[in-house]
Amino acid sequence: MSKLEIEVDGLETAMQTTRMFPLVVQERGSVIVGRAMNVALGKAQTAVPVRKGVLKASIYAVRHGPLGFILGATAPHAIFMEKGTRPHIIEAKSGGVLRFTAGVGRPEHFMRRGRWTGARRQTSGRFAGSGGVVFAKRVHHPGTPPLPFLRPAAEEVVRLFPEFAWEEIQSWLRSRGWK
pLDDT at 149: 93
pLDDT at 55: 92
pLDDT at 168: 85
Helix (H) or strand (E) holding 139: strand 138-141
50 Cβ neighbours under 8 A, 6+ residues apart: 56
pLDDT, tens digit (0-9, with 9 covering 90-100), for 125-173 = 444 445 678 788 888 888 889 999 999 999 999 898 888 888 888 888 8
Average pLDDT over the chain, rounded to whole? 78
Local structure of residue 122 (DSSP, 8 states)? P
Give pTM, 2 decimals.
0.69
pLDDT, tens digit (0-9, with 9 covering 90-100), for 73-103 = 999 999 999 999 999 888 888 778 888 776 5
